[in-house]
Structure 1
Amino acid sequence: MFQSLMKDRSGNFAMMAALLIVVLCMSIGSALDYMSALDARQKLRQAADSAAVGAIAEQSVGVLAALTNGSTGAIAEAEADAQQWFRTNTDAKTLAYLTDFSFDIERNSTTFTSRVEFHASVPTTFLKIVGRNSIDIAGSATGTYSPVTYTDFYLMLDNSPSMGLGATTSDIALLESNNGGCAFACHIEGSTNDAYALAKTIGATLRIQLVASATQSMISTAKSTRRYNDQYRMALYTMGAAATNAVLTEVAAMSSNLDTIKTAAGTVDIMSIPHQNYNNDQQTDLLTNLTSLKATMGTGGQGLNSADRQKVLFLVSDGVEDASRANGCLKKLSGNTRCQQPIDTSVSTKIKANGVRIAVLYTTYLEIGNNGWYNTWIKPFRSEIATNMRACASDGLYFEVSPSSGIADAMNALFLKVVNMPRLTG
């Protein structure tokens, strides 16, 4: 009878099915346990990210303390702040799984670094059946912050006659229809044929006017975002109020009184000329003006204190030079000396070599299709203007914008890019 029972195979399918169901349930249960552990790890990693960034943000407790007292090395205040950030950004249940977590926040001469590490043990449900009561997880996050706390901005606004171009295509058309086909509102002081006065009468907006108002908007942004009264200082320059003295001109001296700078920016206007075709229209000598400004700015610092300030040149221009330069012109001369070309990048290279960053806002040189001078001298290299303006800028600090499509927004964005923010590095 026993031998017959052993030979009976009629119940094998049911037995195998029962075993497979047990295995399948264990697999599903194990997957759920691991998913729970992964979910907890993700939450803890997000909390670690928040702690790594928050503890070294510009206005964090630790950064402010270190910048105030000039200390380097481990920052106790930042580590305490990191713990608060970590605990605030996850739930109590997940925090209960922690078995260990550590914070290492330090500052060297130029950079703040943070590293947050955690270990946790997530209890299991199904895996307990096979004797595994928990799943161990771990993770870390690191961050760096190079504070640019004290910065001097040198605002260089191109106010040469070419910035008297209509701000938009409709403004250009309005000027052309009222100004004998000319799209430029040349400012001929004391003349009855002053196109600048005409532009005001017919309501045509000029490129320089948008630049001036956008500069004021950017200065307001600087004032609202600064943390200390002297954190940002500014100086304002143009290429001269009159073509008879077209040299680098200080409109407002370097100052932390941003209201004064803003008021001065509102006075910036197009360069005047004594008569039509004065000096063969050679009033846009960007190379010479930037060379003079290079000497004025000197060498940039680290920006970690008021005595060692970082320096930033803020250049706003349509990027076309028109100057007397018999030698060294990049394009064909008109006559013996008149040089019309995209901006010469050689001086910007030297400025950046001095540790000065350059933020460039290129106000697109709009096409003037029915203008013979434009078609002959500018159109052949128009595609190079943006290329050279970008080459002048420091990495990440270049914008091209048509004046009618948000020049104020572009200037504000450039300013905010200059102000470093902490970033995750791992």
Structure 2
Amino acid sequence: MIRRVCDLLRRLAAERRGGVLMLFAVSLVPMTFAVGMGIDYARAVRLRTKLNAIADAAALGAVSQPMMNIVDDTQVGAAATAMFNGQAAGLEGLVATPKVTVTITHPEGATSRAVAVSYTADSRNAFAGILNLRSIGVGGASTAVATAAPNVDFYLALDTSPSMGLATTSAGMATMDQALGCTFACHSNRIEINTSSFPDLIVDTARFAINKKYNGYTQINGEYVIFIDADGSYIYYNKTQNVAARCNQGGRDACVYNRDGSYVDSYWYAKNKGVRMRVTDERSAIQDLMTLAQQYSDQNKRRYHASLHTFDHKSNFKTLVAMPGPTAAANLSTVSSAASGIDLVAVNDRAGGGRPPNAEAGTEWLFTSFQSVLTQMGSIMPAKSGQGSDQPGDTPQAMLFIVTDGMSDENIGYGRTRTAMRDEQVAQCNAIKARGIRLAILYTEYTPESVADDEPYQRGLALKAIPNIAPQLTKCASPGLLYTVKTDQSMSTALQALFAKAMVTARLTR
């Protein structure tokens, strides 16, 4: 009997099947809590994802264009905080309102803004609360960086040297070459000295069809004339001895004069024939640019002012519109209207005794003077560009736009250059840029047609210089702000593209 009882106890001690049930019963509770806590964690992750999206929205909102127009950082920070809290208030699972911190800095000056939105929050637990773990902490951050479109003063300097009389289209070049044997328009008031070079400019009405836009005769100083184009040129008929004296070359009985009594020239011919030239395209390009600038100004709620200048011979720098003060009314429409006054320089001006206006003897053919225009513009523009913000004491950002074919033709102390922009003038450009002024150049590509009729030595110098023009202008311009326009391309489109490239944009970082 005792042996049987001992055997029973040994078998009972060796039995394991009941232990599995017991172990399962013991582990069931922690397993239930583990699954529940996993669900709590997943809920916290989803909540964090939503809060991150709200932080992104608050940061981006603080650098939106309307907010960039607000210069008070405290006001911007309060708006970002309110936006975050407003969107977060509707989220489920939050223990309390998140703690939000908005930090605003200006990494690139007053017109830039970096907004960092960071937060901490607690996600409510459903299961772990039984163990007194009532929440899971979550946090995140987002940063948005933007540069506001600044208030800008645009200084526009346009090349009006003789080579800017080149036709801008292949068809225009062919028209000029066929009629005059020259592809660009010579604007010379002394052309009557050698009329054999321009046989079609002193004309009779049978040989040279003139589009008579005005009918009927008018008496001017006792002479009978008829106007022939809107620029005010008119035709003298051989009615008196005085007129006959003017028109007695080659036995012709009619000739064309400008209203000041000077002969018309191939520049007049190009305009009368509707040939587009670089100098006339400059007019429309500036007018179109002012329209675009006004659109930017309206969209960005920024003040844009502009000045307009032309340059050629060193003695003939002109200001068509001066830069107004920073608080003055917008003047873009004024510049647009004044652009119609952009004109090709008159070579060998009669009033100057055979020289460009106010030029000294020996400099008759020296165009274009980069030394002069850079010196003149340097004196007109501010000593230091402002950042263009609305912060007290700040001034508009200054930008210089130059439109040129890039061929230097001046005397800089050692004779005629006839080269690409020289290193001395690149140094002038660098000095301007060092003042914080951005310098943009529209290069109207110089072509051999511009010097086709030059005497051989000067033509050789110019042709040798052409490959170096763009590299030198690139050095002069601010990085990325050289744009080239070629024959048969639109100068207006190119100038607008250069303008757009010079403006700033916003960006988002994480």
Report the TM-score when normalising by structure 2.
Answer: 0.62
Q: Which deviations, in whole Å up to 9, do the C-alpha atoms of 1:269-314 show, x marking residues without a partner?
A: 2112238998563221122221122123240242455774432222
- 2:320 alignment counterpart: 251
| Residue range with higher mean Cα deviation, 366-375 or 49-58 | 366-375
- 2:266 alignment counterpart: 195
Q: Separation in 1 of the partners of 2:86 and 2:443?
A: 44
Aligned partners of 2:293 and 2:304 also within 8 Å? yes
| Deviation (angstroms), 1:425 | 5.5
- 1:105 alignment counterpart: 104
- The alignment covers a number of residue pairs equal to 393
| Deviation (angstroms), 1:86 | 4.9
Distance 1:55-1:171 versus aligned 2 partners, 3 A rule: closer
| Deviation (angstroms), 1:268 | 0.6
Structure 1 segments unaligned to the other structure (5+ residues): 8-24, 67-74, 328-335
- 1:216 is aligned with what amino acid? Q
Q: Which deviations, in whole Å up to 9, do the C-alpha atoms of 1:8-39 show, x marking residues without a partner?
A: xxxxxxxxxxxxxxxxx99x999987985685
- 1:178 alignment counterpart: 179
Q: Separation in 2 of the partners of 1:338 and 1:234?
A: 31
Q: Separation in 2 of the partners of 1:347 and 1:289?
A: 10
Distance 1:306-1:201 versus aligned 2 partners, 3 A rule: farther
Distance 1:95-1:381 versus aligned 2 partners, 3 A rule: farther
Choose from 225, 231, 248 the match for 2:303. Answer: 231
- 1:15 alignment counterpart: none
Aligned partners of 1:51 and 1:116 also within 8 Å? no
Aligned partners of 1:322 and 1:338 also within 8 Å? yes
Indicate whether 1:43 and 2:130 are aligned.
no
Write the mapping of 1:135-146 to structure 2, written as runs, cut at 5 A.
136-143=138-145, 145=147
| Deviation (angstroms), 1:2 | 9.2
- 1:347 is aligned with what amino acid? Q
| Deviation (angstroms), 1:141 | 0.8
Report the TM-score when normalising by structure 1.
Answer: 0.72
Indicate whether 1:204 and 2:275 are aligned.
yes
Aligned partners of 1:161 and 1:186 also within 8 Å? yes
Q: Separation in 2 of the partners of 1:206 and 1:358?
A: 25
Q: Separation in 2 of the partners of 1:194 and 1:326?
A: 33
Distance 1:306-1:232 versus aligned 2 partners, 3 A rule: farther
Q: Quick check: which has more Rg, 1 or 2?
A: 2
- 1:81 is aligned with what amino acid? A
Q: Which deviations, in whole Å up to 9, do the C-alpha atoms of 1:124-180 show, x marking residues without a partner?
A: 99999x99986834122143546733x332211111111111113333333323331
Q: Which deviations, in whole Å up to 9, do the C-alpha atoms of 1:233-255 show, x marking residues without a partner?
A: 22211016xx6x84211112223
Indicate whether 1:78 and 2:152 are aligned.
no
Aligned partners of 1:187 and 1:270 also within 8 Å? yes
- 1:352 alignment counterpart: 433
- 1:101 is aligned with what amino acid? V
- 1:337 alignment counterpart: 416
Q: Separation in 2 of the partners of 1:117 and 1:351?
A: 41
Structure 2 segments unaligned to the other structure (5+ residues): 1-10, 18-34, 192-200, 202-263, 325-329, 357-362
Write the mapping of 1:52-67 to structure 2, written as runs, cut at 5 A.
52-54=62-64, 57-60=67-70, 63=71, 66=72
Write the mapping of 1:373-412 to structure 2, written as runs, cut at 5 A.
376-402=460-486, 404-412=488-496
Aligned partners of 2:447 and 2:466 also within 8 Å? no
Aligned-residue CA RMSD in angstroms?
4.8
| Deviation (angstroms), 1:102 | 2.3
Name the SS of the counterpart of 2:322 in structure 1.
strand
Q: Which deviations, in whole Å up to 9, do the C-alpha atoms of 1:371-391 show, x marking residues without a partner?
A: 375973333332322222122
- 1:355 is aligned with what amino acid? G
- 1:158 alignment counterpart: 159
Q: Separation in 2 of the partners of 1:170 and 1:88?
A: 64
Q: Separation in 1 of the partners of 2:158 and 2:442?
A: 10
- 2:371 alignment counterpart: 287
Indicate whether 1:216 and 2:287 are aligned.
yes
Distance 1:119-1:352 versus aligned 2 partners, 3 A rule: same
Distance 1:348-1:102 versus aligned 2 partners, 3 A rule: same
Distance 1:30-1:389 versus aligned 2 partners, 3 A rule: farther
- 2:220 alignment counterpart: none
- 2:341 is aligned with what amino acid? T
Identity between Structure 1 and Structure 2 (%): 25
- 2:266 is aligned with what amino acid? A
| Deviation (angstroms), 1:263 | 0.9
- 1:11 alignment counterpart: none
Name the SS of the counterpart of 2:410 in structure 1.
strand
Aligned partners of 2:420 and 2:465 also within 8 Å? yes
- 1:365 alignment counterpart: 446
- 2:338 alignment counterpart: 264
Q: Which deviations, in whole Å up to 9, do the C-alpha atoms of 1:312-338 show, x marking residues without a partner?
A: 2221111111123452xxxxxxxx535
Q: Separation in 1 of the partners of 2:342 and 2:446?
A: 20
Aligned partners of 2:397 and 2:437 also within 8 Å? yes
Distance 1:186-1:44 versus aligned 2 partners, 3 A rule: same
Q: Which deviations, in whole Å up to 9, do the C-alpha atoms of 1:35-78 show, x marking residues without a partner?
A: 85685366335314413422884424xx2xx4xxxxxxxx3321
| Deviation (angstroms), 1:203 | 2.9
| Deviation (angstroms), 1:209 | 1.7
Q: Separation in 2 of the partners of 1:220 and 1:229?
A: 15
